[in-house]
Amino acid sequence: MKTSDQWLDRLAPWALPLLLLAAWQVLVSSGWLSSRILPPPTAVLSAGWALLSSGEIWSHLAISSWRAGVGLAIGGGLGLALGFISGLSRWGERFLDSSVQMIRNIPHLALIPLVILWFGIDESAKVFLVALGSLFPIYLNTYHGIRNVDAGLVEMSRSYGLSGFSLFWQVILPGALPSILVGLRFALGFMWLTLIVAETISASSGIGYLAMNAREFLQTDVVVLAIVLYALLGKLADTAARLLERLWLRWHPAYQKKGANA
Amino acid sequence: MTAQQPPRQNNGTALKIRTLSKSFGDLQVLNNIDLDIPAGQFVAVVGRSGCGKSTLLRLLAGLDQATSGALLAGGAPLADNRADTRLMFQDSRLLPWKKVIDNVGLGLRGDWRPRAFDALRAVGLADRAWQWPATLSGGQKQRVALARALIHQPRLLLLDEPLGALDALTRIEMQQLIESLWQQHGFTVLLVTHDVSEAVSVADRVILIEEGEIGLDLTIDVPRPRAHGSFRLAQLEAQVLDRVLARPANPEQPEKVSPLPTQLRWAL
C-alpha cells in the first residue's frame, strides 16, 4: 500500500494541469472555443515540433537564455557587491543604502523608453534591463542577510582569532547565504519578467520576438508555445535555485529532510 | 597522585585583578574589584542576575574593555596573550554550517585534524565528528564547544554558565567532565554560574559578587572526589545562599543532627 500512496503523492500535483489540458482540448475540438482565440494543445505541440525540426527554436532559446544569464550575472553580481558593502560597513551603508533604496522604488520597466534611446534595440538594452531587474532583490537580501548574522557567532569567532577575510568567508557569508538565496529566487522571477517585456517591445530574436512575430501572422499556436516556453524556463531556473539551496544549505535543519543523522 | 590534591602541572594562568571597574554609561557594573587567583585554581563566581559576574568574564576574555584597572597574568597584562584564554559561552555558539570537527578546528592553521579528533575524543564525541551541529543535543553541543576551547590548550578557561541550559543529569555529567579535564591539564578555571550547589560541588573557591563588589570569598576545603550531597558541601552551599539572599548567617551551625561515629563514641 505504501508504494501506491507514494505514487499518488507524486502524481497529485500533475492531476489539475492534465485535467485542464484535457478540458482545453475538448472545448476547442468540439468547437465551443474558436482556435483563433486558443489553439488546441495538439496544435501548440505540432507548432513546437515544426520549430524544433527546423532548428529555429534553438536559436531563439539560446539568445533568450544568453540575455537572461548575462543580465542576471551582471545585476546579481552588482547587487551582491553593493549588498556586501552596505552590510559590512557602517560607512558603506550610510553612503549607499538610501540611494539604492530610492532607485529601487522606480519600476525598472518605466526606463524602457530611455533605454531604447540609449541603446537602441540592441542586445545591451535587454541585458541592461534584466540586470536592473535582478540587482535589487539580491542587494536587499544580501544586505539583510549580513545584518542578521548572529552577533554571538561573530563575537565567538573573533575571540577564536578569526578576522578580516577569514571571518567573512567562514562566518558572515555562510550566515547570510540563506537570505542571499532567497534574493536569488526573487531575482530569477524578475529576470524572466523583464526579459519577456523587453523582448516583446523591442527585439529581432528571442522567444518574445517569436511570440510578437507570430502575432502579426495570427499564429496563435506559436504565441501560446512561446508562453509555455517561458513557463518551462522559469521552472528550470527555480529548480536550479533549489538545487543550490540543497547544496549550500545542507547544514540547515530545514534542508535536512530525511536521515537527520546522515 | 593523591585524591586530595589534583596534580598541578602549573599550566594555569596566575590571575591578578587590580582595582577593576567597568561602567556602561552611568551604570557602574564592577566596582574596584581586587582578586588574586593562583595558577590552576578552580574558581566559581556566583551572584544574582545583573551583579556583574558575566561582565567580569567578558573583561577577562577581552570581549569588553575595562573602564579602569588592570588584568594581569603572572606579571604581564592578560591581553598580551589572548590565545591563552578561552571562553565558553552559555549557548554553545557552534557554527551551524561547519561539521562538528571543523567547529573544533575553528581558527587553527596547519594540520589540526588529528588534534581536533583528540579533543573530540576527550569529550567523548569522536564518532560525531562528521555531523552537522544541528543534529546534536544541547549537552553534546556544549561538549563540542568545550573541545573547541581545549584544543587551544588554554591556561585560563572561562566558563559563562555553560551548563545553564542543560538538564540536571547532563549537567552533572558535564561538571564531572570539566573537573576531570581540569585535573588533567591544570589550567585555571573561572566558572560563572547561577547554581550555588554546582559552584560549591565543583570549585576550590567560591566568589560571590554583589552589586559589582566581592561579597564573599569562600574556600571549599572538601577533598576530591567529592560525594554529591555530602554534608559539608550542603553547609557551604547554605552559607553562600544565606549571604546571597541577604539573610544573616546562622550563628554557628548547631551540631550535626545525625550522630556521627565520633560523637557516638563520646556518648558511650
Read off the pLDDT band of A147 (50, 70, 90): very high
Show residues of chain B in contact with A165, CB under 8 Å. Answer: none
Task: Give me the amino acid identity at A123.
Answer: E
Q: Count of CB atoms within 10 A of residue B96's CB?
A: 16
Query: From CA A226, how far away is CA A53, in angstroms rounded?
Result: 16
Residue from B236, B243, B156 nearest B191 by CA: B156
Question: How close B97 gets to chain A, by Cα (Å)?
Answer: 5
What pTM does this model have? 0.81
DSSP code, position B97: T
Q: What φ, ψ does residue B66 adopt, rounded to 5°? A: -70, 150
Kindly indicate whether the ipTM for this predicted assembly is greater than 0.90, answering yes or no.
Answer: no
Q: Residue A81 belongs to what H/E stretch? A: helix A56-88
Interface mutation vs chain A, best among B95, B101, B136, B144, most A CBs within 10 Å: B95
Give the model's pLDDT for residue A243. 92
Show residues of chain B in contact with A252, CB under 8 Å. Answer: 96-97, 134
Give the model's pLDDT for residue A199. 87
Residue A172: closest C-alpha in chain B:
B95
Q: Give the residue extent of every domain in chain B.
A: 15-246
Query: From CA B226, how far away is CA B4, in angstroms rounded?
Result: 10
Cell of B3: 585524591
Residues in CB range of B1: below 8 A, 6 or more apart:
B7
Query: From CA A217, how far away is CA B256, in angstroms rounded?
Result: 107
Of the listed ranges A4-8, A137-141, A162-166, the least confidently predicted one is A4-8
CB contact under 8 A, B89 and A161: no
CB A76 within 8 A of CB A187: yes
Give the model's pLDDT for residue A148. 93
Cell of A172: 558572515
Residues in CB range of A58: below 8 A, 6 or more apart:
A52
Fold of B15-246: Rossmann fold (3.40.50)
Question: How close B256 gets to chain A, by Cα (Å)?
Answer: 48
Mean pLDDT of A54-71: 90
Show residues of chain A in contact with B107, CB under 8 Å. Answer: 157, 160-162
The class of domain A59-250 in CATH terms is: mainly alpha
CA gyration radius, chain B: 20
Q: What φ, ψ does residue B2 adopt, rounded to 5°? A: -85, 155
Report residue A223 CA to chain centroid gap: 21
Q: Give the residue extent of every domain in chain A.
A: 59-250
Give burial (CB, 10 Å; 0-12/13-18/19+) of B210.
middle
Give the model's pLDDT for residue B6. 44
Give the model's pLDDT for residue A255. 80
Show residues of chain B in contact with A160, CB under 8 Å. Answer: 106-107, 148, 152
